[in-house]
Amino acid sequence: MDLFNEVWGLFMMRWLHVISGVMWIGLLWYFNFVQIPNMGKIPDDQKPAIGKVIAPAALWWFRWAALATLATGLILAGWQGYILDAITLGIVGAAEDGFVIKHCAIGIGMWMGIIMAFNVWGVIWPNQKKALGMVQVDAASKKKAARTAMLFSRTNTLLSIPMLYAMVSAQNIY
Amino acid sequence: MNNPLEKLSSTVVMGVVLTVIMVAVLAAIA
């Protein structure tokens, strides 16, 4: 068996994409399903254990996993030659091949994933730095930053459900 | 009116509704 052919390379890239994605969405769901709903039940003197230790560590893995998932995903789509077809939801390429539902489905998933990765690096992380005290701001800005980070984290949780449907359906039923 | 994203259960319901709409659109154009 030739381990270094294109099939094997694509498979390895897909495997990296999936494990990065599990790390990213797993931590997203940890924040939304475990950490945020239970912060209120933790006594104030114990809150720094989460705010100063657990959350910064989780955010490190979270944001780099998001970037790794995006990068491996774009490499996969580029390598297989359907990146433009997918980004245009199957419109580009339709003239030659007819409309390809697989490209539309993976394209919807890709757009949701791209928006989610942008939310991580462009909104959640900058605001979490203020909320967790890694960047010094006044109390009002800190509260506002925590709320913005929470709402965008919730938005990503919402998007993760149809995003995974689009990705897995493109792979398995189309 | 409260932002539905503030409640986790509302977020999940909205995600499922969005998925159902997406599946219907995909089925219609397939």
Query: Where exactly are the structural domains of chain A?
Result: 6-172
pLDDT score of A49: 96
Please identify which residue in the block is written with the tokens 């984290």: A153
Q: Using the beta-carbon criterion (under 8 Å), do B15 and A161 form an inter-chain contact?
A: yes
* Number of Cβ within a 10 Å radius of residue A55: 18
Say whether the ipTM exceeds 0.85. yes
DSSP A1: -
Residues A107 and A117: their CA atoms lie apart, in Å, by 15
Average pLDDT of chain A to the nearest whole number: 94
pLDDT attached to residue A94: 73
Between B4 and A120, the higher pLDDT residue:
A120
Which residue ranges of chain B lie beneath pLDDT 70? 1
pLDDT at residue A5 greater than cutoff 90: no
How far off is chain A from B2, nearest CA to CA, in Å? 12
For CA atoms A41, A47, A49, A54, the dihedral sign is positive
Helices (H), chain B: 8-29
Max CA distance (Å), chain A: 65
A162 contact residues in B (CB cutoff 8 A): 15, 18-19, 22
**A45: DSSP letter:** G
Gyration radius from chain B CA atoms? 12
- The answer to whether the CB atoms of B8 and A157 lie below 8 A apart is yes
